[in-house]
Amino acid sequence: MSGTLRPEEQTGPAVVLDVQGVHKRFDEHPVLRGIDLTVGRHEVVVLIGASGSGKSTLLKTINLLEQVDDGRILLHGADGAAEDITDPRADADRVRARIGVVFQHYNLFPHMNVLDNVTLAARKVFRTSRAEAERTGLALLERIGLGDKAKEYPDRLSGGQQQRVAIARAIATDPELLLLDEITSALDPQLVGEVLDLVRELKAAGSTIVMATHEMSFARRVADRVVYLKDGVIIESGPPQQIFERPERAETAAFLQRLRDPFAE
Ligand SMILES: Nc1ncnc2c1ncn2[C@@H]1O[C@H](COP(=O)(O)OP(=O)(O)OP(=O)(O)O)[C@@H](O)[C@H]1O
C-alpha cells in the first residue's frame, strides 16, 4: 500500500473502467438509461448534471452499492485482465478493495482516531501488519498536511480536514480507481479549496478518478473529460474546453446557462 500519492508507473492497460449499456430503475422509474463510459488509466472524468440526473447512482453501480438492471461494468486490472464486476458471481468485497470511494459526508468512524481510520482497510482487508500500515498511513497523513492530527478523533477536525482524511483513507490501499461523490458539497465554502487542492494533487500523481460534482469551476480545472448527464443519459462528453466554452449539444448549453442564470427561461 505504499504507492499512494506517488506517480503510478506509466505501464499497464490503457483502460481501467468500462461501463457498457448500464440501465438502472428504481420502482420502475428509469434512473440510468444506457450508460456507456470508458475511463482510461490516469484519467480524471467529472460527471456533471442536474440534481437527480443519476450521477450518484452511476457511481454506486460501479462500487456495487447498487445492482445494474441491464448492461455490465468491466474493471481492468494492472495485469490487463478484465473482470465483469456486475457478474453476480463477482466477489463484492474484493471488487470494493480495488476501488476507493469518498462520499459527500465523510463517514469516518467516530470512535477511531485519524490514523486508525486511514489504516483500517490495510489491516483488516489486506492483512498488512499494524506497524507497516501505520508507517504508510503516517507518511500519507504527513503528505496531506495532517501528520499532527494522527491521534485526534474525527470530531476534533474541521469538515475540510475530515474530508481530506476520508480521501487519505480511500487511497491508503492504492486503489486502481477512485470514486468521489460530491465530496465538497457538505463543506463551508472556505473549506472547499483545501479538498479540491488534494484532488488536484491526486490527479498530478496519476490517480484514475471518476467524480460527481456541482462545482463547475473545479470540473473545469481538474477534469480531463467532463460528462454531462441528463435524466440518466449521457448527453455530451468531452474536454472541459468543449463542454464549458463550445458545447456541441443545445441541452448542454442550456444546462450551463441555467447554472449561470437560474431564472433564465
Ligand atoms: N435507493 C433509491 N430508491 C429510489 N429512488 C432512488 C434511489 N436512489 C436514487 N433514487 C432516485 O434516482 C434519481 C437519481 O438520483 P441520483 O442520486 O443518482 O442523482 P444525482 O444526479 O446524483 O443527484 P444529486 O446531484 O442531487 O446528488 C433521483 O430521482 C432519485 O430520487
pLDDT tens per residue across span 11-53: 456 999 999 999 999 998 999 999 999 999 999 999 999 999 9
Quote the ligand 1 centre to 140 CA distance (angstroms): 33
pLDDT at 264: 65
Which atom of ligand 1 approaches the CA of 27 most closely? 4
Which residues, 6 or more positions from 135, have their beta carbon under 8 angstroms from its beta carbon? none
| CATH topology for the 15-260 domain | Rossmann fold (3.40.50)
> How much is the pLDDT for 144?
87
Q: Per-residue DSSP letters for 80-121?
A: S-EEETTSTTS-HHHHHHTEEEE-SS----TTS-HHHHHHHH
Cα torsion 197, 199, 202, 206: sign: negative
pTM comes to 0.90
Domain residues of the chain, as ranges? 15-260
The residue with greater pLDDT, 143 or 73, is 73
Is the predicted pLDDT of residue 4 greater than 80, yes or no?
no
**Model ipTM?**
0.97
Q: Which residue puts its alpha carbon closest to atom 13 of ligand 1? A: 52
Mutational pocket test of ligand 1: of 26, 33, 47, the residue with most ligand atoms within 8 Å of the beta carbon: 26
Query: In this predicted model, what pLDDT tens digit does every residue of 196-251 receive, in sequence order?
Result: 888 999 999 999 999 999 999 889 999 999 999 999 999 999 999 999 999 999 99
Rounded to the nearest 10°, the torsion over CA 211, 213, 58, 36 is: -70
Categorize the per-residue pLDDT at 9 as very low, low, confident or very high, splitting at 50, 70 and 90.
very low
In the 8-state DSSP scheme, what is residue 244?
H
179 vs 95, more confident: 179
- Alpha carbon distance 159, 187 (integer Å): 6
Cα four-point dihedral sign 99, 166, 26, 210: negative
Query: What pLDDT was estimated at residue 3?
Result: 40
pLDDT tens for 44-93 read 999 999 999 999 999 999 999 999 999 999 999 888 789 999 999 998 88
Which three cell numbers mark 162?
A: 475530515
Of 60, 82, 7, 41, whose CA–CA distance to 177 is shortest?
41
DSSP assigned state of 174: -
- Cell triple for 100: 476507493
Contact status, residue 49 vs residue 226, Cβ threshold 8 Å: no
Query: How far is the centre of ligand 1, averaged over its atoms, from the C-alpha of 53 (Å)?
Result: 7
